[in-house]
């Protein structure tokens, strides 16, 4: 029904676009309807990007990337989701079973209970949320009903309708009025249970959650695919090495990322005793997870590195129709935030002490990098790999351009590429004169001549890594040994705190630091000019230097 489409470039924009013509039979029944598309994140730690599109003669929207490989992945995901939505519109409204309704409400429960549990905020907020939820669920609205329960339904719709419709759109479901009415109530109870759970979390109670188990897994509204082949009948020609090769060809992977994935796959294969993805079961993954826990690894490391890397390969295999299952799904460690483990910023006094030590150093990296970290809030890797040509004047503003380097230096995400105004304190201390003396090449590595240092091989660390490590060890050597204050990264935390003290908008601070905003898709439309960023930088006060 749908012709094959490819990502395209829109005139006047560097972002790659999605475009698809809507078939006439779909347009006839679905024109003006909303569909929610979930675009895969850029990396395994990211969140999907949700895009709402309106059905018209053709559908166009930004794939939110300039990377052709990532655009191809997102294009395929959007095409598949639109196909499901189009088929649903053509079938017409379908009733939902009770199990399906509870499973869908479980998705909403999970969206609140899991995504907000790390930092749930004030318990009073969740008490008020529960009061509003219970008001709608009890339906105490004074109305003259035209049918029994009309007033209660109106309250349920006002309170939970937008969330219910969003989950239906995301899952490509077109259902009947009665099923939606029942789903409103199920969703209301689930969201209220999530609010109760988040209140407990906000009060410091992270005991096991008994409610989550009551929701059945959502299996989709479409007929399910055949069960995976048994281990004895699965083809064994696919290896993790082949999957890694396919994964590495999908877009520009940094050498450090390739090395990390290969290390994890090696560890997993060693645990399994084989290297065949098709033979792996959920029990195999759980056993590996438990082994990693016994070794003392944190839940964050196991979930965010070991399991996430393996799952990324299985998701790739599914997209490429190499495998039809993901044994990692549902096996991650339940994470609980422990008191006394969160990383902390430097204090103003500590920053002033480190900068005073830096002023006495003659080595350029030790003299300048701590100052730049403190007054930009940047990642140490971004600063350690700076070149002279990255220090520019743009619209009369002196800036650091944080970007890729010719010899293979990388940045973390698309948001990491940015221009950061240079703080006047750096200029007063002669930073621009230092840059001029070094020329256009590397500022903090490459010897006295500042020569480029390409990686020795595709998995080798970039030369700037040595600079970052040197600064880290120097700070530790000066007596700053608090394990909860990462020597270089604690500057980044301090800068964020300094922005709060100075009254700088969080969105502006995020732009300066290269953070992805909390509003997700909406933040991709927000840009700040250099004048705004410079005005914010000027508000950051250098901590008073200790008397010499």
3-state SS assignment for residue 295: coil
- Residues 6+ away with beta carbon under 8 Å from 332: 289, 302, 303, 307
pLDDT of residue 39: 85
- Please choose, from the candidates 426, 459, 441, the residue with its C-alpha nearest in 3D space to the C-alpha of residue 385: 441
CA 475 to chain centre: 30
Burial class of 33 by CB neighbour count within 10 A (0 to 12, 13 to 18, 19+): middle
pLDDT of residue 355: 95
Spatial contact of 397 and 384, defined as CB atoms under 8 Å apart: no
- Please choose, from the candidates 464, 470, 386, 466, the residue with its C-alpha nearest in 3D space to the C-alpha of residue 422: 386
pLDDT of residue 525: 41
Q: Give the DSSP H or E segment for 19.
A: strand 16-21
pLDDT of residue 521: 43
pLDDT of residue 87: 85
pLDDT of residue 484: 87
pLDDT of residue 145: 45
Spatial contact of 525 and 51, defined as CB atoms under 8 Å apart: no
- Residues 6+ away with beta carbon under 8 Å from 485: 343, 344, 345, 346, 350
- Please choose, from the candidates 46, 44, 37, 45, the residue with its C-alpha nearest in 3D space to the C-alpha of residue 74: 37
Spatial contact of 473 and 363, defined as CB atoms under 8 Å apart: no
In sequence order, the β-bridge partners of residue 70 are none
Per-residue pLDDT of the chain (548 residues; tens, 9 = 90+): 334 455 565 555 678 889 888 998 889 888 988 888 888 887 655 667 888 888 999 899 998 888 888 888 888 888 888 888 888 888 888 888 899 999 999 999 988 888 888 888 899 999 998 998 888 888 754 444 444 556 677 888 888 888 888 888 888 888 888 788 889 999 999 999 999 999 999 999 988 888 888 999 887 754 333 333 333 334 446 889 888 888 887 766 777 788 889 989 999 999 999 889 988 988 899 999 988 988 888 888 898 899 999 999 998 888 877 787 889 988 888 766 555 567 789 999 999 999 999 999 999 999 999 999 999 999 999 999 999 999 999 988 999 999 888 887 877 776 678 999 999 999 999 999 999 999 999 999 988 888 888 877 666 678 888 999 999 999 999 999 898 898 999 999 999 999 999 999 998 999 999 876 554 444 444 468 899 999 999 999 998 765 55
Half-sphere exposure of residue 397, counting CA atoms within 13 Å on the CB side? 19
- Residues 6+ away with beta carbon under 8 Å from 448: none
Question: Looking at residue 546, what DSSP letter applies?
Answer: P
């Amino acid at each position: 029904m749908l012709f094959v489409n490819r990502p395209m470039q829109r005139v006047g924009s560097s972002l790659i676009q999605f475009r698809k013509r809507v078939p006439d039979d779909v347009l006839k029944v679905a024109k003006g309807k909303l569909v929610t598309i979930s675009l895969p994140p850029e990396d395994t730690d990211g969140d999907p990007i949700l895009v709402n599109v309106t059905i018209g003669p053709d559908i166009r929207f930004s794939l939110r990337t300039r990377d052709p490989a990532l655009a191809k992945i997102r294009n395929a995901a959007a095409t598949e989701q639109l196909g499901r939505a189009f088929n649903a519109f053509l079938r017409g409204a379908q009733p939902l079973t009770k199990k399906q309704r509870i499973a869908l409400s479980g998705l909403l429960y999970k969206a609140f209970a899991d995504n907000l549990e790390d930092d749930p905020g004030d318990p009073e907020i969740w008490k008020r949320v529960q009061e509003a939820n219970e008001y709608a669920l009890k339906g105490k609205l004074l109305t003259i009903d035209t049918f029994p329960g009309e007033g209660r339904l109106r309250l349920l719709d006002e309170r939970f309708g937008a969330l219910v419709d969003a989950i239906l759109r995301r899952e490509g479901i077109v259902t009947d009025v009665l099923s939606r009415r029942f789903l409103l109530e199920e969703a209301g109870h689930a969201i209220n249970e999530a609010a109760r759970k988040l209140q407990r979390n906000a009060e410091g109670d992270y005991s096991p959650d008994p409610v989550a188990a009551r929701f059945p897994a959502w299996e989709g509204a479409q007929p399910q695919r055949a069960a995976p082949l048994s281990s004895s009948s699965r083809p064994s020609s696919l290896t993790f090495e082949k999957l890694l090769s396919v994964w590495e060809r999908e877009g520009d992977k940094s050498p450090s990322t390739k090395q990390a994935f290969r290390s994890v796959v090696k560890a997993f294969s060693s645990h399994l005793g084989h290297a065949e993805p098709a033979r792996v079961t959920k029990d195999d993954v759980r056993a590996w997870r438990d082994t990693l826990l016994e070794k003392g690894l944190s839940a964050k490391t196991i979930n965010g590195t070991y399991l996430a890397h393996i799952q990324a390969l299985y998701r790739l295999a599914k997209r490429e129709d190499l495998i039809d299952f993901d044994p990692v799904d549902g096996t991650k460690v339940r994470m609980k935030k422990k008191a006394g483990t969160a990383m902390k910023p430097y204090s103003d006094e500590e920053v002033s002490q480190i900068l005073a030590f830096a002023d006495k150093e003659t080595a350029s990296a030790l003299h300048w990098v701590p100052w730049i970290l403190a007054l930009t809030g940047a990642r140490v890797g971004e600063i350690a790999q700076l070149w002279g040509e990255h220090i520019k004047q743009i619209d009369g503003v002196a800036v650091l351009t944080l970007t890729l380097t010719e010899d293979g230096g990388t940045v973390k995400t698309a948001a990491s590429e940015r221009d950061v105004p240079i703080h006047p304190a750096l200029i007063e201390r002669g930073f621009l004169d230092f840059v001029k003396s070094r020329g256009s090449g590397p500022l903090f590595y490459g010897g006295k001549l500042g020569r480029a240092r390409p990686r020795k091989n595709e998995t080798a660390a970039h030369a700037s890594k040595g600079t970052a490590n040197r600064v880290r060890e120097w700070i530790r050597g000066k007596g700053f040994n608090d394990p909860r204050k990462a020597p270089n990264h604690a500057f980044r935390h301090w800068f964020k705190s300094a922005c709060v003290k100075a009254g700088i908008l969080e969105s502006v601070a995020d732009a300066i630091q290269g953070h992805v905003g909390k509003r997700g898709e909406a933040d991709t439309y927000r840009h700040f000019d250099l004048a705004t960023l410079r005005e914010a930088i000027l508000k950051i006060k250098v901590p008073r230097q200790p008397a010499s």
